[in-house]
Structure 1
Amino acid sequence: AEGKSPDNAVGCKLLFYSYGRNTGICYYDDAKLEEIDKEAELKKELERIPEYKLAAEGHPRLYFSSKDIERLKNSGFHPAEELLTKDNFSSGYISGKQVTYELPPKELHIKEPPEGFVGNYPYWTSMSRTIQTHIESLALSYLITGKEKYAQRVKEYLFALSKWSTWCEYPEGEAYGGISLAICHLTFGMAFGYDVIYGFLDKSERKQIGEDLMKLGLGPIYNDGFKENETNLPALQFSALGIGGLVFLNEFPEAKVYVDLAKKYTGYYFERRLNSKNTEGLLYTDYAMQNLLMFADVLNRVTGDNSLLDHQYTKEVLPLWVIYFLTPGGSGRVPFSDDPGGGGYGLIMKIINNYFNNGYAGWFLNKTGQDKSKGFLDVIYFNPKRKITSPDNLPTAKLFENIGWVSLRSDWSDTATFLAFQCSSSELGHNHYDQNNFVLNIAGEWLITDPGYIDYRPGPTNIFTLQSVGHNTILIDGEGQNKLGNSQVKEFFHSHYYDYVAGDASKSYSSEKLNKFLRHIVYLRPDYFLIFDQLVSPKPAKFEWLLHASNSGKTNRENNVISIKKRKSELNVFVLQPEEANIEITKYPGAEQYGPYAVVSNSAEKEEVNFLSLLYGRPLSKETNLIELASYPVFDSSGQEYKVVGVEGENGLFYRGQSKGDYLTFEITVSKVGDYEITSGFFKSPAYGTVHLSIDGKKIGNPYDGYAEEVGLSEGINSGKTYLSEGKHYFRYEIIDKNPNSGNYFVGIRYIELKSIGEKEEKAPDKTLKVKSLKDKGIIGAEITDENGLERIIFNISSEKNNLMNCQEQSFSGKNSFIGLSLNNEIKKYGLFRGNVLRYNEKTLFSSKEECCVSLGWEKKLAKGTIKLVKEEEIEIYLPNLKKLLINNQEIDYQKSYNPQSGILRLKLKEGTHQLLAELG
């Protein structure tokens, strides 16, 4: 660790901080404190590092050059007129605390933490981000309009910041040597302001701003030194260091040293994301990567060095990770680790789309509505001709092996079913005690939820959001996991009809409580998930299987079925094992705002328990007039920043209103003329204003006051009835005031619902469904009967995986198998995982010498399958009435190896995974 001591320091105390609870005893044998001569170190670096050649001379140079001004003028950016005279702003913090800051910014240190918080509270993080945004908006206004009043206001901000004694909120007490998020945000803002108004400043003013930025921002960040630390804070530090260095390149000698150190860290971080077991989740990876990727982009623009931008992680892995964990319809993302589950990745995907011409990134931006955003960076990376490629050609399941995340979805449509599973080895600070956790989303609605971001205030909400009790995992005698990470996805197989994943979270628990926790998930696409848990304790115990929902739906239990119903979708969970299970629906005392959850437990204490449940969910209606604004484009606004955010598992659009009169407008097309009842769903917050809805210029209903002491969800706010003609209509939410207790004029809107009065809603037909548990010696499974036939899934739980296991007419050797029968009891699909034989009614469906994975099925005379072999060999598969065969998109002559009477096809295939496509007669 490196750090700078205060000038009057006489000694040093080392504090070893542990994020989680203590486990065992740690002994430290020695500690060494050495003084580093930073001036000598800097001198060596100045001699070692060659001068950079500039690809773009002069200023502006960072995010654009003078040749980009016309493009920026066409981006739809609104000049920040209101910031010219704004003399203060307020920021809201936890427990409803509000702080007002003067403008141009004055140094203000606040000693008292908000109620319920212990220690140094980071007030300046929000404050510095707002100041950065002000500088960016004013500078961009100057660039686009050419009006010097904006440049003058930027200059006032820059010289005001130059007068501060420090940009560190707690310079003698912060972690990371006094380097906080605030110093980074102020460095970003000052560097950008200097770059844009460079020509407006005289030589002495440039020199003064440069020296002050070195003293207050770049110097302290550089002196903090290089760290092999893969969290988001160093990512922000080194991005600020690099971009600040690039703005002064060839103007101040130290600049090249700053750029070089930023390059070193960025390369390290990209490599770690490619190979490391650790992840901070989607939220903090977005925060880290958007800053580092922005530095990589600016480095390329200023110097022509594209080595960072061309990294494999940026080019191949990151965009797929983001897409695979996007919810159907694009309104949110999976809230694993500290993450409220809303928005983000707009900047990253814009850079990837622009630089690599990556169409998947373009699809993401279009789907989430972020291609229409008008914030500062949205304007900078504005591209009216984005390449858009639908992910329909991508597999519908994917394992991200190094971090232990799995995505399973029915398809890529807006009404898809989507399950995300986590079984990770990551031990970073923003992770939770939640291994073998899963969440489920249908048609953009979370039915099985995760609390998302930790509530860091001590008490029940902290326990619920951090510990296992708030997640969809297992408790033993009321206790959950006591180690972060320590888990691993052991198995993964994907095919058109059948997916299988298995996670081992045994080591996440105390060995005194648990010896074994294997969670198996089988997905029979598109309708059914079977969740099978194997649990072993060293002594008889009560095991609790947890399933969480949110307050925005209805959660009930009838016999062994748990039902969750929301506005657009519903889920039924059939509890199949243990046979005499206790099932209750409850809420966690003191954390009721996170919603109800089901607890399934064994009725008598045992050392070994198996849980088995079938999940069946579906959209409720074929057509809906419910418009999710998180993924809906904004037609017009008063020009303030807007972005997607999440609260309590619900996503919506946040608008950073600054004053009365700020507004958002949505263009909504009505397909049928008639009377409609209009309902809006909002967020509540200590910093929200009062809004009034108007349609086509006419106000309807009553204003909505968004103020509340705690962040949360509103009930549906009914604006009354109105007549709408067929065609386009304009729904405008205007900020008309704010509650006296509110700290700002912000607004958060989740949805607009147009309910046609007198028209009966078209609902999806009810499904005839029978589910039963199957259990015998060495096997456990489920049988599902619906209007399409029968599907049966069997797990081998014996110690001998090579033995032939039998269940009714189905027999197999391997870890698990499934069959699907038509209403006429004819085979229509089957699968086998890590086995070598599968039979039904004495008919061989698959056989091999070695252990294999196979899934094959057919409908409308088209067969699709996946075969995975551990070594080259000849296998036999059942494929009736074969007419044409393709393996890995190559047509195969099968006549000599196919028996039309038995339907058995012999295939010799190499080691690896093979895709089969066949036409049947």
Structure 2
Amino acid sequence: MSLTHPFIFFSSDEINALRRKASGPICGTILKNTERVADARLSWEVYTPALVPPFAGYRLKAGQAMNYDEDYAAKYVQQYRMSMLVRNLSEFYAFCYLMLGEETYKEAARRWILTPCRWDKRTWAAYEESKLPIEDYTPAELRSIEKSGGACVGVVVDPEKDYKKPIFEDTGIFTTFKLRGLAVAYDWMYPHLTDEERETVRGMLAYQGDRLYHHALNQNALLMNSILNHTWLDTAGLGLAGVALYFEHPPAREWVKLCRDRFVGVLLPRTVGVDGEFPEPGPYVWEYSYTAAALFFEGLRRVTGEDLFASPAFRRVSHLLTHVLSPAGGLAFDDDMTGFDRADGMAYAFRPLMFRFASRFQDPQAQRYALYEGFDPPGAEKGKLYPGGKWYPEAREYNGHWEYIWCDESIPPQDPPDPVPSTLLRDAGWAILRTGWRPRDTYLALRGGTYLGPHDRMDQNKVVLQSGGEKLLEPLYGANYMHFEYFKYTPGSNTILVDGEGQTEIPKEAQHATFMNQYKTENTNGKILLFEPSPDFDAVIGDASGAYGDRLTRFWRCIAFLKPDCFLILDDLAAPRPSAFDWLAHSYGDISIRGDDVIIRKPKASLLIRAVLPGGASWHLDRTPPDTNNERLLKHLALRPSRKTSSVRFLTGLFVSPADREPVSLRAEEKGHSVIAHLTLRGQTLAVKFDLAAKKIQLLQN
């Protein structure tokens, strides 16, 4: 059977019904916002991106201006940004024309589709000619290029000079991002293109798809040996291009089969966690992996009938997103990946996918996410940021068209029915403690699990805390290209420093192997030793003893959550030699120190942190290294013992919005392997026992 374009997500017979969705209050709002965004972006340029120098580009030395070579970073971001713009705006304007019929949208769609399809092959290949012979590249450098989406696809030998010149091409994200958007836009705009324009687009999709398929068969494209984000989006992008050409270019069926088999045999079973986790720290890459896969799965279903979207592994993604959506509208720990893969807007970026889970499976919890009361209205221009760094003004990718297509207004939103809202995401080792599902609820996340590959933040046993609609304890990340040793790693997180240093970094050449050896095993850098949630009291213990190399022999973080607004945190640390320890607690709020207490204030909520153990410890508020704007933020907060020691216990109490209630009291009683915290809270005298020998936390009095 041959289908006529459009057919991937809807047919020509379904377009009128799709337009009628605008009569509903939700879809009507989305379409109005979509039209506003479309009008505002009509002048955006389809520029020809610069070619990227084919080298790793890393300096990796603290104190230098950037952790990337300036020229490499600028050109890489330029390619990355344009690939995402083509992916997004080609399909976006095609949708706008089909729904709204404006000629300006038709011309914008044609421009975003045809301009990249008329680029020469070198522009699509993305990399400059190499200035070095292949022998001058180390295995680590070649691996770094590969992880960034490129590959050495051949070597040209000059026998007279005994010179072997490597040929580098993009065989990953720059190509597959564009293939996704162009495949969708080609399908939707097919009836509105001339025969010559169709051939131009079809020819470029066919050439690039055949090129990637050939290199993939040689294990030289799509990061075939990986199971992380590039492999997901590359496989999905090539697969979706194959779906678009399924009835026009016979080899496209082989692309589709390769991509389908890769998902079924490797990516779905090996990547997706038992609770839907994507095993990397940043929601930026969860989104473009899971959303790209969803698009390919839905396209595959249209041409073959096979429904990978409904596979048990992919269905679990909805569970993940439901439970990591934080009250303040973030995801899990709100980890940024690098200076150009930020967490800002990522919860909104998942709205289309959650609308699809809701509509496909009549899932009220997924609908509740998509319509979360802490979000701006559907169709809001609040999604993920295009990569830009310091070279481009901030602008957000817009996916209102997918929200509109996948929204079913008949499904009522509903909170998860769990009597206890706290949850443990087992394969990632993320413990989420919460009081409920509203924007002002209290929420604490603790990390204690597997190493998460090349983007790992080296921050086992970190915490973030939200309450009253504010992020009260948070990482110090942001759009930073400078001082990765601080902003990307342990010092910028709420965990522990030993002698001023963070957790042990994995050598670059061992990062992927380390991840593969740890994920979904017991052999992990961090662990959750205890997770016992209940309606009024949650207890969790994280173990990061193995995260500091030989500098620590023990780091247990024990947390008691006395709901709704009090946390007790006991950290038990031991080192082979006397060491200086820093207990970190960061926030972008106003920070003031008053003896043993710290007050963090934000507009809608505040936090009191009271230090009880060790005796004689003191608070220090220091400046960060310079960020991308050359600002040194007075936000690095640390609790430090008075002297070096080979073992120490930190006991702190965290009390949300202390200005809203009577004063609290907190003291500690140490008894061998136990610590009992006595506190007076809301007129009650309570005691919590941390039994380290038994790995238990008990509320002794109610």
Q: Specify the TM-score bucket, using the shorter chain as the normaliser.
A: 0.7 to 0.9
Q: Is 1:181–1:236's contact at 8 Å kept on the other side of the alignment? A: yes
Query: Which structure has greater helix proportion?
Result: 2
Task: Supply the AA of the counterpart residue of 2:178.
Answer: L
Classify 1:489/1:326 alpha carbon distance in 2 versus 1 (closer, same or farther; 3 Å).
same
Classify 1:606/1:150 alpha carbon distance in 2 versus 1 (closer, same or farther; 3 Å).
closer
State the partner residue of 2:161. none
Task: Supply the AA of the counterpart residue of 1:161.
Answer: P
Q: Is 1:107–1:164's contact at 8 Å kept on the other side of the alignment? A: no
Q: Deviations over 1:83-108 (max 9, x none)?
A: 8998963xxxxxxxxxxx5x5x5565
Task: Supply the AA of the counterpart residue of 1:477.
Answer: D
| 2:694 aligned with 1:817 | no
Task: Supply the AA of the counterpart residue of 2:689.
Answer: I
Q: Is 1:249–1:255's contact at 8 Å kept on the other side of the alignment? A: yes
Task: Supply the AA of the counterpart residue of 1:473.
Answer: T
Query: Which structure has greater strand proportion?
Result: 1
State the partner residue of 1:409. 434
Which structure 2 residues correspond to residues 95-494 of structure 1 after superposition, within 5 A? 101=45, 103=46, 106=48, 108-109=50-51, 116=66, 117-118=68-69, 120-121=72-73, 122=76, 123-146=78-101, 150-151=105-106, 154-166=109-121, 167-170=124-127, 174-175=145-146, 176-177=150-151, 178-201=170-193, 203=195, 205-220=197-212, 223-225=215-217, 227-267=224-264, 268-271=266-269, 272-274=271-273, 278-306=279-307, 308-315=308-315, 317-328=316-327, 330=329, 334-336=333-335, 338=337, 339-342=342-345, 343=347, 344-367=349-372, 368-369=375-376, 371-373=378-380, 375-391=400-416, 393-452=418-477, 455-457=480-482, 459=483, 462-483=484-505, 486-494=525-533
Distance apart, 1:380 and its partner CA: 2.5
Distance apart, 1:618 and its partner CA: 3.0
Classify 1:508/1:64 alpha carbon distance in 2 versus 1 (closer, same or farther; 3 Å).
same
State the partner residue of 2:159. none
Q: Is 1:454–1:466's contact at 8 Å kept on the other side of the alignment? A: no
Secondary structure at the aligned position of 1:446 is classed as strand
Q: Is 1:218–1:241's contact at 8 Å kept on the other side of the alignment? A: no
Task: Supply the AA of the counterpart residue of 2:99.
Answer: I
Which structure has the bigger radius of gyration? 1
Q: Is 1:556–1:562's contact at 8 Å kept on the other side of the alignment? A: yes
Classify 1:385/1:568 alpha carbon distance in 2 versus 1 (closer, same or farther; 3 Å).
same
| Aligned pairs, number | 588
State the partner residue of 1:514. 552
Secondary structure at the aligned position of 2:8 is classed as coil
Distance apart, 1:156 and its partner CA: 5.0
> In 2, distance between residues paired with 1:818 and 1:529?
12
Which structure 2 residues correspond to residues 663-682 of structure 1 after superposition, within 5 A? none
> In 2, distance between residues paired with 1:363 and 1:518?
36
State the partner residue of 1:558. 594
Which stretches of structure 1, 4 residues or longer, exceed 6 Å deviation after superposition? 79-88, 110-115
Distance apart, 1:501 and its partner CA: 1.0
Distance apart, 1:172 and its partner CA: 5.5
> In 2, distance between residues paired with 1:540 and 1:145?
70
Classify 1:232/1:595 alpha carbon distance in 2 versus 1 (closer, same or farther; 3 Å).
farther
Q: Which runs of 5+ in 2 are unaligned?
A: 59-64, 131-144, 152-169, 381-398, 507-523
> In 1, distance between residues paired with 2:672 and 2:612?
17
Classify 1:64/1:171 alpha carbon distance in 2 versus 1 (closer, same or farther; 3 Å).
farther
The one of 662, 668, 671 equivalent to 1:773 is 668
Which structure 2 residues correspond to residues 614-629 of structure 1 after superposition, within 5 A? 614-618=653-657
Distance apart, 1:428 and its partner CA: 1.0
> In 2, distance between residues paired with 1:221 and 1:793?
60
- TM-score computed with the length of structure 2 as normaliser: 0.77
> In 2, distance between residues paired with 1:337 and 1:431?
10
Q: Deviations over 1:461-510 (max 9, x none)?
A: x2221221111111111112114561111111111222111111111112
Which structure 2 residues correspond to residues 618-697 of structure 1 after superposition, within 5 A? 618=657
Distance apart, 1:390 and its partner CA: 1.6
- TM-score computed with the length of structure 1 as normaliser: 0.60
> In 2, distance between residues paired with 1:414 and 1:85?
31
The one of 550, 561, 569 equivalent to 2:605 is 569
Q: Is 1:270–1:313's contact at 8 Å kept on the other side of the alignment? A: yes
Q: Is 1:464–1:470's contact at 8 Å kept on the other side of the alignment? A: yes
Q: Higher mean Cα deviation, 358-367 or 270-279?
A: 270-279
Q: Is 1:188–1:240's contact at 8 Å kept on the other side of the alignment? A: yes
Secondary structure at the aligned position of 2:576 is classed as strand
Secondary structure at the aligned position of 1:450 is classed as coil
State the partner residue of 2:62. none
Task: Supply the AA of the counterpart residue of 2:612.
Answer: L
Q: Deviations over 1:304-337 (max 9, x none)?
A: 211x11122322x322222222221536653136
> In 2, distance between residues paired with 1:476 and 1:209?
56
Secondary structure at the aligned position of 1:782 is classed as strand
Distance apart, 1:447 and its partner CA: 0.8
Classify 1:84/1:354 alpha carbon distance in 2 versus 1 (closer, same or farther; 3 Å).
closer
Secondary structure at the aligned position of 2:476 is classed as coil
Secondary structure at the aligned position of 1:61 is classed as coil
> In 2, distance between residues paired with 1:320 and 1:197?
35
Q: Is 1:185–1:240's contact at 8 Å kept on the other side of the alignment? A: yes
> In 2, distance between residues paired with 1:60 and 1:406?
44
| 2:564 aligned with 1:542 | no
Q: Higher mean Cα deviation, 144-153 or 779-788?
A: 144-153
| 2:617 aligned with 1:578 | no
Q: Deviations over 1:400-419 (max 9, x none)?
A: 11111010012222221110
Q: Is 1:357–1:387's contact at 8 Å kept on the other side of the alignment? A: no
Distance apart, 1:299 and its partner CA: 1.5
State the partner residue of 2:520. none
Secondary structure at the aligned position of 2:700 is classed as strand
Classify 1:427/1:599 alpha carbon distance in 2 versus 1 (closer, same or farther; 3 Å).
same
Q: Higher mean Cα deviation, 520-529 or 165-174?
A: 165-174
State the partner residue of 2:563. 525
Secondary structure at the aligned position of 1:143 is classed as helix
Secondary structure at the aligned position of 1:224 is classed as helix
> In 2, distance between residues paired with 1:191 and 1:465?
38
Q: Is 1:399–1:405's contact at 8 Å kept on the other side of the alignment? A: yes
Task: Supply the AA of the counterpart residue of 2:400.
Answer: G
Classify 1:301/1:389 alpha carbon distance in 2 versus 1 (closer, same or farther; 3 Å).
farther
Q: Is 2:608–2:657's contact at 8 Å kept on the other side of the alignment? A: no
Classify 1:333/1:594 alpha carbon distance in 2 versus 1 (closer, same or farther; 3 Å).
farther
Q: Is 2:461–2:495's contact at 8 Å kept on the other side of the alignment? A: yes
- Structure number with the bigger relative contact order (C-alpha 8 A, sep ≥ 6) is 2
Secondary structure at the aligned position of 1:785 is classed as strand
Q: Deviations over 1:891-917 (max 9, x none)?
A: xxxxxxxxxxxxxxxxxxxxxxxxxxx
Task: Supply the AA of the counterpart residue of 1:500.
Answer: A
The one of 671, 685, 691 equivalent to 1:796 is 691
Task: Supply the AA of the counterpart residue of 1:135.
Answer: S
Q: Which runs of 5+ in 1 are unaligned?
A: 1-52, 90-100, 621-763, 802-813, 821-828, 830-921
> In 2, distance between residues paired with 1:399 and 1:332?
14
